[in-house]
Structure 1
């Protein structure tokens, strides 16, 4: 290497005096040949590194020395140190610390000293601390970079926990004699590993492999879950995840319990360019049903087809009613469906096949209409000449049961066609006037025929509607805005009711969503008939302090009671029950709503209250429900229930939760549960206990206790943002 000329020495001294000493090696060709550095550098200077220092000088023909706030860059690698000595002849970098080495956003190395070769691709780092993805910390006596792929560490302590000055013991740690980090496969291999909790050894593993924090999917064991319940005794679930490829995986979850339960649960998932598929199931033998094999299987999928169509399916099958309840999958009803649908701005096409199975002990699935097929076509368009918006709807529907009811009806098929038109207009004084008509045609085929219903029936239902709304707005001097809107809607329909089976619309409701509608029935197997008036009044207040409240009052008047609704229904009689709906929303996270129905004597017939309040420290969700008896809805006695779900942050790491359902009508609890969760930057622990009492789904009382521990900071299980020390 030639000596620097006097002119170059003067330039170096000038740069050193300025305190910014930036030397781009591409500009240092006058001093030396190019340095052999990482080929990751892009642009015209590919193959060169950048060096910045307070003082830079040559020490002999082969040594370049940088001192004071030294920073070296090569590709995505950035190093800061106190002093760097570069030997051109050997290509070595001697680095004196404390030094900081960053590789992109994923790897951070802190060390006392290092020797690097080939542009940081090979080297030896002493007394190092490696931080992966700002989560997993690895302290090692010595770190050796073998090449771009492997990094070896000796005498290692690894943890994702913060270590405080008060205590040097993390909540968990892994100690090993040797660790190899494979950056290409994103795996970390431990040799002679010892796992410790609170500083105490709990497990020794000659070989241990864990994914690094940047890997989302890797084959291996997931966090286990311990349980204790009256049906199984003490149990353990240990999921094993298999990453088959980048687009498919399999999870196997064996379950073992002290009372003899043996179960295996599996889940297979695969992603496609146009959708996803999931297959799963459960096979079990237990002491709950001795001598029998219990099983469950399901498949779910969603696919995008051509021309805007989407196909979805959800199929499930169980061997007995209580299987899901016994294995923590409580459901009151199983629903399987295959759906093909296309939705556009003015058009909807839907083809669907469904099958329902009730898990309630009091239901007989043979007598329920649980096999359904339907096809729906809807289109909306502007009405030429008349103005307004018109709609066309066609529906084909069929349902069947395995055993006919007392009326000998086993299956019903129906074709329905609807043509409707609606036009809105602004009248004087800001009144909104609306006119609308609807023509519905339904053809029924009932099998087998019976004395109660004709085998084939065609029904034509014309209706006409007129509506007036008068929205009134008033702003107060304080900035609050009040909106009052009276609504009067009159609907004319024929007075004759056809004798037809009612399997789908047996539980009509009255609420603020259907107060002003042509029919309160859920499906077109029943249509609301007769001349009627829907009247209502709403008031809304928007307060500048951030809260708003609404109040809605409404009722239905009929010219003639056609007996379409059961005597106990809120819609029965010439006058329906009064509907009173109120709600309150605040910017403090509080939402309160209440829907009440009461008769002319102001006796409450139905009430539903819901309160939700969420803040950073706690959350509460509670509901109260009261419904009077109705034999038509298979409810011979009054139903009343209070439920609550709440959680409270006890401190920075501990959160307590509670939930219960109380049957007020029977004066007994239906479910009671409590939980406690601990979570910091490196550990999540959840404990929960629940007591379920006999209900329409379960025959007896059950008690369960669950415990799960998740080690955070490794293998796609990220820790939350660090907020402080967590020492033991």
Structure 2
């Protein structure tokens, strides 16, 4: 007669290891010679460690039966079922479902019935559905667990798509007669596989291997890219990823086009304990430049070399100017550099070698100062005796041209030293005052030639500064806060301007970031001179509803025009153009800013308007730019351009996008593109068409259509969050 553990009330939950062992000890005493309690408990633990059920009883000396909301645990494996029968003599489990078997967070299995052995490590499961990493679903007529490593499945349908009552057919699926899951290598092997889209068979593969969703890196084909453009015709890129070891990999991407394009791209990556290395390139033969082999190569890396120093390098070489543009890697300039730097709280060190190559069709690289070597040392410290903060900066710089024009110098070497000091104080009535100075010393060695510059020149530039700010804060009705701050800064510097080459500071700017500084030049080859006053007024409003606005007006006054700026520059003359900056930020995701420069006659010299608006359903980013002509800046005519990038979510899965750039000065489009993307829990698809018109880097118009399809939920290509099926 079956014996049961004591019950409390109508049903009880639990009887874990101790109750289970006691039952088997009692059963053993009836039909078998006595055995040590430890041995009998160990024998039970080989089946499972913990058992919980509504009803638990013995059926004879060797059979334990658990019924009603049964849960069994063994290590990381958890089993839920309607009924479990455990045979002590064979160590087998007969499980009646519906049952759920989970292994940690990675594997979930649903089935009708099962027979298990060795603590769930071996067994046969019927009418099963396996879910790997909550992504890939595999439905099988029968699942056999051979051991802890291999699981074999028969009559299989696999998909990462959600299957609901109203959508019985998944977007994509793989059907196979047999599937083997190697949990150690994290690979899934399909035999006689058939790939289907929308329920229709599109490919048959006798053998198919894919990584399971928990594997982030595996050797195999990546998602292909289809391209249709005027240069290559109909093309296909098919990248193949090769895992060389845990710390290195190689990607080989052949590219074939119907207009004769034959290209091969390579990318090698390796991780080190102190950094990373990446090398790659492209070799191509095409009809764009018929009969020529075109190539590009690059090397990039970052390494920690000790004592806080970081070594980085980026070396790039191309065979011709239009190669990158023809292969969808548009750049106007290539920069190669080797840099050693260290950044600390009050110290910065950088040693750098650079090489620039312009890809603009109108530039001649051999006449540009594109070979540069430089070193910086900057340190900030408290000034003894005077108080305040001081800064010390040393710079060694050299650049050269390969073939200079008559008006250019071939090479320039410069040593610069700067000492800065500034002390701030709070004056009566809340006025903020500051005093400071800057002493700059520059020594130049200039290559000889018909340039009109001295061979060797030393320049000393002192600047003394005094500044007053008076921030005024006022609260308004409704909780808004207004902040008005007038600023007056006077800087004295010497009036004499030395005749020196200007290769690095030919494009000075005036904006809200440098209005209150002692120089508007980008590099030390030029320094701003003379007695001048930087004046400005700003107003900021903070609204309690979450938006704020800013308005700033400023200008530079000079005692005397020293001719340091070109006549068409906003900084030219005794008085610079007015600088007007406005901005608006809202909690609705809208940001609007405008920067304008205009003279006293309200003639606009420069204007930049930018609007960004992002919400959950759409995003818009548009920019308008207008710059007056300035031959000294290599801009003989005005430049005006309008660009826009936008996207709109059409529904839960579809997103449309558009982008264009319009050259207002030439009254013609520069670029026009539109895209459509789809993404659900198992598929990502992107379509894009783009029209590029002739520009500084391309002499002809090109049209391109691209299509990318990514199957999600397989390997290291995770699916997005699943939707919830509606209905029952």
**Shorter-chain TM-score range:** over 0.9
Q: 1:201-243 deviations in whole A, cap 9, x for unaligned?
A: 1111111000000100000000000000000000000000001
Provide the residue aligned with 2:107 in structure 1.
107
Match of 2:17 among 25, 28, 40: 25
Secondary structure of the residue aligned to 2:429 is: helix
- Identify the residue that residue 44 of structure 1 maps to in structure 2: none
Q: How far apart, CA to CA, are the structure 2 residues paired with 1:314 and 1:587?
A: 40
Aligned counterpart, 1:723: 723
The answer (yes or no) to whether the contact 1:537–1:553 under 8 Å persists in 2 is yes
Deviation at 1:168, TM superposition (A): 1.4
Task: Tell me if structure 1 keeps the 8 A contact 2:139–2:157.
Answer: yes
2:50 corresponds to which residue? 50
The offset of 1:726, in angstroms, is 11
Match of 2:7 among 2, 7, 14: 14
Whether the aligned pair in 2 keeps the contact of 1:37 and 1:118 (CA below 8 Å) is no
Which residue is 1:334 aligned to?
334
Aligned CA distance change for structure 1 residues 351 and 289 (closer, same or farther; 3 Å)? same
- Aligned: 1:129 with 2:129: yes
Aligned 8 A contact 1:279 1:300 in 2: yes
Give, in whole Å, the separation in 2 of the partners of 1:611 and 1:591. 6
Q: Structure 1, residues 145-192: CA drift from partner, whole Å, max 9, x if none?
A: 011111000000000001121231111000000000001111000001
**Pairs within 5 Å for 1:291-310:** 291-310=291-310
Partner of 1:42: none
What residue in structure 2 maps to residue 72 of structure 1? Answer: 72
Tell me, yes or no, if structure 1 residue 317 matches structure 2 residue 317. yes
Separation in structure 1 between the aligned mates of residue 44 and residue 147 of structure 2, nearest angstrom: 13
Q: Distance in 2 between matches of 1:152 and 1:38?
A: 26
Supply the distance in 2 between the matched residues of 1:715 and 1:626 (Cα, whole angstroms): 49
Shift of 1:450: 3.3
Aligned pairs for 1:92-103 within 5 A = 92-103=92-103
Per the alignment, in what secondary structure is the counterpart of residue 209 of structure 1? strand
CA drift at 1:725:
5.4
Matched, 1:420 2:386: no
Shift of 1:723: 1.8
Deviation at 1:724, TM superposition (A): 4.0
Answer yes or no: is the 8 Å Cα contact 1:25–1:35 preserved in 2: no
Equivalent residue number for residue 687 of structure 2: 687
Query: How far, CA to CA, are the matches of 1:396 and 1:37 in structure 2?
Result: 78
8 Å CA contact 1:63–1:86 kept in 2: the answer is yes
Q: In structure 1, list runs of 5 or more residues that go unmatched.
A: 40-46
Q: CA deviation at 1:18?
A: 5.1
Q: After superposition, what is the alpha-carbon deviation per residue over 1:490-544, rounded to whole angstroms, capped at 9, x for unaligned?
A: 0000000000000000000000000000000000000000000000001111110
Q: Is the 1:38–1:120 Cα contact (8 Å) retained in structure 2?
A: no
TM-aligned CA distance change 1:408 to 1:604, over 3 Å:
closer
Q: How many residues were matched structurally? A: 712
User: In the superposition, relative to structure 1, how do residues 522 and 408 fare at CA in structure 2: closer, same or farther (>3 Å)?
Assistant: closer
Which residue pairs with 1:522 in the alignment? 522
2:307 counterpart SS class: helix
Partners of 1:38 and 1:75 within 8 A in 2: no
Sort the Cα spacing of 1:229 and 1:726 in 2 relative to 1 into closer, same or farther, 3 A: farther
Q: Does 1:170 align with 2:170?
A: yes
Counterpart of 1:345 in structure 2 is 345
Distance in 1 between residues matched to 2:654 and 2:45, nearest whole Å: 47
Deviates more, 1:477-486 or 1:543-552: 477-486
- Contact 1:36/1:119 (8 A) holds in 2: no
Q: Distance in 2 between matches of 1:372 and 1:582?
A: 38
Alpha-carbon displacement from aligned partner over 1:365-398 (angstroms, at most 9, x marks no partner): 0111001110000111111111111111100000
Structure 1 residues 53 and 138: CA distance shift in structure 2, 3 A:
same
In structure 1, distance between residues paired with 2:644 and 2:557: 37
- Is 1:202 matched up with 2:202? yes
Residue 273 of structure 2: aligned partner: 273
Deviation at 1:30, TM superposition (A): 2.3
CA distance in 2, matches of 1:231, 1:628: 35
Checking the alignment, whether the CA contact within 8 Å between 2:613 and 2:620 is kept in structure 1 is yes
| Preserved contact between residue 23 and residue 58 of structure 2 (Cα < 8 Å) | no
Distance in 2 (CA, whole Å) between partners of 1:451 and 1:596 is: 37
Q: Deviations over 1:83-138 (max 9, x none)?
A: 00001011110000000000000000000000000000000000000000000000
1:34–1:48 CA contact under 8 A, matched in 2 = no
Give the drift of 1:407.
2.5
| TM-aligned CA deviation for residue 592 of structure 1 | 0.5
Q: Hey, what's the Cα distance between the residues in 2 that align with 1:622 and 1:408? A: 39
Output the TM-score relative to the length of structure 1: 0.96
TM-score, normalised to structure 2, is 0.96
Deviation of 1:19 after TM superposition, in Å, equals 2.6
Deviations 1:14-42 (A, max 9, x none): 15x45333111244322212365777xxx
Instruction: Give the direction of change, closer, same or farther, for the CA distance of 1:38–1:566 in structure 2 (3 Å limit).
Output: farther
Residue by residue over 1:595-637, the C-alpha shift from the partner in whole angstroms, topping out at 9 and shown as x without a partner, is 0000010111110000000001000000000001000111111
Distance 2:490 2:726 in 1: 67
Structure 1 stretches of 4+ with a deviation exceeding 6 A read none
2: distance between equivalents of 1:82 and 1:451? 95
Cα distance, 1:408 vs. partner?
4.6
Q: How far apart in 1 are the matches of 2:451 and 2:115?
A: 97
Report matched runs for 1:56-455 at 5 Å.
56-455=56-455
Contact 2:467-2:488 at 8 Å conserved across structures? yes
Give, in angstroms, the shift of residue 477 of structure 1. 3.2
Match of 2:341, SS?
strand
Contact 1:94 1:114 in 2 (8 A): yes
SS in 2 for 1:14: coil
Counterparts of 1:605 and 1:263 in 2: how far apart (Å)?
47
Q: Map of 1:525-544 to 2, 5 A cutoff?
A: 525-544=525-544
Q: Distance in 1 between the 2:709 and 2:724 partners?
A: 21
How far apart, CA to CA, are the structure 2 residues paired with 1:263 and 1:725? 46
* CA-based RMSD: 1.4
Check conservation: 1:21, 1:56, Cα contact below 8 A: no
Secondary structure of 2:629's aligned partner = coil
1:408–1:603 distance in 2 versus 1, CA, 3 Å: closer
CA distance in structure 2 between the aligned counterparts of 1:218 and 1:51, rounded to whole angstroms: 39
CA contact (8 A) 2:48 2:73 kept: no
Counterpart for residue 43 of structure 1 = none
**1:349 and 1:38, CA in 2 relative to 1: closer, same or farther beyond 3 A?**
farther
Q: Kindly indicate whether the alpha-carbon contact (under 8 Å) linking 1:38 and 1:121 is maintained by their aligned counterparts in 2.
A: no
* Equivalent residues of 2:687, 2:707 under 8 A apart: yes
Aligned to 1:360, what secondary structure does the other structure show?
Answer: coil
The alpha carbon displacement at 1:672 in A equals 0.2
Equivalent positions of 1:440-519 (< 5 A) are: 440-519=440-519
> What is the SS of the residue equivalent to 2:478?
coil
Structure 1 contact 35–49 (Cα < 8 Å) conserved: no
TM-superposition CA deviations, 1:641-667 (whole Å, max 9, x none): 000000000011100000000000111
Q: 1:628 to 1:451 in 2, by over 3 A?
A: closer
- Kept in 1: contact 2:406–2:451 (CA 8 A): no
CA distance in 1, matches of 2:89, 2:448: 99
Kept after mapping to 1: 8 A contact 2:150/2:181: yes
Structure 2 residue runs of 5 or longer lacking an equivalent are 25-39
